[in-house]
Amino acid sequence: MNTVDYLRISLIDRCNFRCTYCMPEGAEFDYIRSKEMLTNDELIQLLREVFIPLGFHKFRLTGGEPLLRKGLVDLVRAISSLPGTEDLAITTNAYLLEDMARPLYEAGLRRINISLDSLDRNVFREITGRDHWQKVWQGILAAHEVGFDPLKLNVVVIPGVNDREVLDLAALSIDRAWHVRFIEFMPIGNTELFAHKGWVDSATLRAKISDRFGLLESNCRGNGPADVFQIPDAKGTLGFISQMSECFCDRCNRVRLSADGWLRPCLLNESGQIDLKTSLRSGQDDVALRQQVRELLNLKAEINFKERDRGIKTSDQTYTRTMSQIGG
């Protein structure tokens, strides 16, 4: 079991896109009210007094769409200034990034992941429910110009929707030091679409890319579970996140904190969550909070979803929160 030192922090459960793999069409969500979300001060207290003392040094801000969070630039500045913060990143759909890239960079953010599931405007609209491809692309270019490194592009591959674009998306890594990450479609968020479309395994994608460009294993590895490769002589890399076809529980180094303060030890298993917000607001001291988290970390290996041999069947798991509410 890896050392658990990476915390994904959902800042908000709202999103300005309606991605089909994340939110079922026509679904209505009971969004978290503002007063129920952890405040910036509460987040900083938990990081400074609970997570960093327990060995957490890598943090990623997620959503929903984290750029919708009020006071985001100030929060980034505060987290990046904490003694013990070694790595701070954000995952965004980039719709608001063109104007926010520089303020975020100047506040101390250096790493960014951007969802880009298609290079085709029509397919992009089909997936995201929004005709915003050009604005997202401008956000990506702004982040590149400012100097974010690494700049990663996340692609959820859906059969019959965007799988035919895999080669074009992979080619984005050739001329720029952009790191494209292909993610296997999962049955969290839209189980009906998953049941209808299925998923493409990473090995198939690698073979397709290798046949076209060649593919070499890369020595580069980030904080996550991606298996990293590189097109020969490319400036960037290609990563494959294979949570459906391969089990990487034994090297999972992360837990997830929801916008309303629930700490979740495993993306694919809702067992064992603890409510840090209620504990914090009821006056529990930092020592007691640390002990709660420490006990959860000790149980993480047993909570991790481990059905390695047969993958995930939608009938076996019921998720009360969608991917947008969990933070991915």
Note whether residue 250 is domain-resident.
yes
pLDDT at 20: 83
Note whether residue 1 is domain-resident.
no
Confidence band, pLDDT 50/70/90 cuts, at residue 37? very high
Whether residue 112 has pLDDT greater than 50? yes
Nearest-10 crossing angle of helices 121-128, 133-146: 100
Least confident of 127-141, 169-183, 234-248: 234-248
**Which of 120, 70, 103, 96 minimizes the C-alpha distance to 17?**
96
pLDDT at 267: 80
The per-residue DSSP string of 111-160 comes to EEEEE---SSHHHHHHHHSS--HHHHHHHHHHHHHHT-SSEEEEEEE-TT
pTM, entire model: 0.89
d(CA 313, CA 184): 14
Instruction: Provide the token pair at 20.
Output: 């089909």
Note whether residue 129 is domain-resident.
yes
**Which of 308, 178, 320 minimizes the C-alpha distance to 251?**
308
Angle at 319 between CA 318 and CA 323, to 5 degrees: 145
Number of domains within the chain: 1
Percent of the chain with pLDDT over 70: 86
Q: Which residue has the higher pLDDT, 325 or 290?
A: 290
Note whether residue 111 is domain-resident.
yes
Whether residue 34 has pLDDT greater than 60? yes
DSSP 269: B
Average pLDDT over residues 12-41: 83
Which distant-in-sequence residues (6+ apart) come within 8 Å of 124 by Cβ?
117, 118, 131, 132, 133, 136
Note whether residue 148 is domain-resident.
yes
Q: Which residue has the higher pLDDT, 21 or 226?
A: 226
Average pLDDT over residues 315-324: 49
Q: How many distinct helices (H) and strands (E) make up the chain? A: 11, 12
- 134-146 residue pLDDT tens: 999 999 999 999 9
Least confident of 54-58, 90-94, 122-126, 315-319: 315-319
Whether residue 31 has pLDDT greater than 90? no
- 252-283 residue pLDDT tens: 899 999 999 999 998 877 778 999 999 999 99
- 201-232 residue pLDDT tens: 999 999 999 999 999 998 776 667 789 999 99
Whether residue 167 has pLDDT greater than 90? yes
Note whether residue 221 is domain-resident.
yes
d(CA 107, CA 61): 14
pLDDT at 313: 41
Confidence band, pLDDT 50/70/90 cuts, at residue 307? very low
Beta bridge partners of 112: 90, 151
pLDDT at 24: 65
Q: Are 49 and 287 in contact (CB under 8 A)?
A: no
Instruction: Provide the token pair at 314.
Output: 């939608």
DSSP 242: -
What CATH number corresponds to the domain at position 28? 3.20.20.70
Whether residue 171 has pLDDT greater than 80? yes
Q: Which domain holds residue 168?
A: 6-326
Note whether residue 146 is domain-resident.
yes
**Which of 204, 242, 212, 206 minimizes the C-alpha distance to 224?**
242
Whether residue 299 has pLDDT greater than 80? yes
Q: Which residue has the higher pLDDT, 48 or 316?
A: 48
Average pLDDT over residues 150-172: 96
Mean pLDDT, the chain, integer: 88
User: What H or E segment, with its residue span, contains residue 264?
Assistant: strand 262-264
Q: Are 189 and 23 in contact (CB under 8 A)?
A: yes
d(CA 265, CA 255): 5
d(CA 166, CA 147): 26
pLDDT at 225: 77
Write down the H helix ranges in the chain: 40-46, 72-80, 97-106, 121-128, 133-146, 166-175, 191-197, 202-213, 276-281, 286-303, 323-326
What one-letter code names the amino acid at 163?
D
Q: How far is CA 231 from the centre of its chain?
A: 24
Confidence band, pLDDT 50/70/90 cuts, at residue 326? low
Length of the chain: 328
Q: Which residue has the higher pLDDT, 108 or 195?
A: 108
